[in-house]
A = this chain, B = another copy of it.
Amino acid sequence: MEYQLTATAKHVQPSAVREILKLTQGKSVISFAGGLPAEELFPVSALQNAFEKVFRQGPQALQYSITEGYTPLREKICERMKTKGIVAKPEDMLLTTGSQQAIDLLTRVYMEPGDVLLVEDPTYLAALQVFRYQNVQVVAVESDAEGMVPQDLLAKLDQYPVKMVYVTPTFSNPEGKVWSVERRQQLLDACRSRNILILEDDPYGDIQFHPEKKYPSIYSLEDPSNRGTVVYTSTFSKTVVPALRTGWVVGAPEVIKAMTYAKQAADLHSSSLDQQALYQLLLDFDLNLHIEQIRKHYFKRMRLMTQLLAEQQWDDIRWNQPEGGMFLWVEFPANWNTEELLRLAVQEGVAFVPGTEFFVNSPKKNKLRMNYTHSNEEQLSTGVNRLARAVEKFRA
C-alpha cells in the first residue's frame, strides 16, 4: 500500500537528541547529550510509599478521571507556586503529560497554520517540533545574555502579525541563561499592549544555584487584578522524576478551557494514578529540601565540568557559567562544525548535542550543548578528557 501521510508528517525528522540517545545506548559512551536528571537523586522510596498510599485507598483511585487532572494535586501545585509569586486557581490549571504536552495543546488551540510565533534563537528544539506540526510561522528574535533584544523584539512585532511568543526565561535550553527582570517586564509590556499571548516555559526554574537570587516568572510580573497575557507551564520531571510525565499549565480560564477540551480529544486524561501518587508525595515528603539537594549536586557538577574544560586551556573555545538549569552552551571558533566534532567525539566515547538544531534562522554550526546533571564526577572527568581528544583530532 502507498501511504499518504500529511505533508508535515512526511517532512518531519526525528529529534537529533533522541537519535543520539539511541546511538549512545552502548554503555561505553558517556553522554552529555540528553537533558536527563541524575537518577541517584531520585526519591525512589518516598515515591514507592506514595504509590502504596494510593493503592491502599482502593479501586476508585484506578478508575477513569477528569481531563483537568487530580484536583488535590492541582491545589497543592497552586500552593507551591504561590510561594514564588505565581498566583493561580486550581480551576485555571490543567495537568498534562509533561510540560511538553502543554506546549502542544496551546499551539493546537491558539495557532492556525501560518500564524506567527516569536521565539528566542536558539530555543528548545522539541518546542520547534510542535510549532512545525501546526505549520506555525516561527520568527526568531535576536537574543543576548539578558534575553530578547528589545530593539529587535519591537521591530519583529511591527513587522509581523504576531499571535504568540514562546520563551524559557529562566535557565534556558540550550543556552542555560537567565533573562534580566527588565527584559521580562519589557516583553510582558510589549505583548500586553498588543494583545499577544506569552507562553512561558519553566521546566528548570527550581534548579537554581544561587538561592539568594530572584528570578520572577513573567507570569508573576502581571498585575493580579488584570492578568491573562501569560500562560505558564512547568513540570515535576526535573524535581521529582521524569517517568511520571506530570506537568501543569496555568493561564486565562478561556485558554485553559480550550486546552482542556483539546486534551479530552487527544488522550482523555493523563495517568491519574501518577497524579495521585505525586499528591501523596507532596503531603509526606519535603520536596523543597529535596530540591535543595538537587541544586547543590548539580551546582557542584556544573562547576566541575567548567573547571575541567578550563583545564584544557583552549583559548578559542568558550562556555557559560549557568546560574541554574541543566546545560552548558559551548562556542567554538566560527569555522568549526560541531556535527563533525560529534562524530569524532562518539568515536572517543562521549556525546553532546550539536547546536544547529536549536536555531530557527541560519544555524550556527560552531556551538554545542552539554548536560552536566546526569554524569557523576568520574564520568564528567572521563567525558571531558574524551571530548578533549576529539577536539585535538578535529584541529588536526
Contacts and interface: CB of A to CB of B under 8 A. Distances in A.
Contact of A258 (B9, B110, B130, B195): B9
A142 B18 CA distance: 45
In the A-B complex, the 6 residue pairs with the smallest Cβ-Cβ separation, listed nearest first, are: A9-B109, A62-B241, A39-B59, A97-B267, A42-B59, A129-B265
A51 B50 CA distance: 11
A254 B60 contact: no
Interface of A: 1-10, 12-15, 18, 21-22, 34, 36-37, 39-40, 42, 44-45, 47-48, 51-52, 55, 58-67, 96-98, 100-101, 104, 108-112, 126, 129-130, 132-133, 163, 192, 195, 197, 228-229, 237, 241-245, 252, 254-255, 258, 261-262, 264-274
A9 B110 contact: yes
Contacts of A112: 6-7
A243 B1 contact: no
Contacts of A3: 110, 197, 228, 252, 254-255
Contacts of A274: 271, 273-274
A59 B96 CA distance: 23
B271 A1 contact: no
Contacts of A52: 48, 52
A111 B12 CA distance: 15
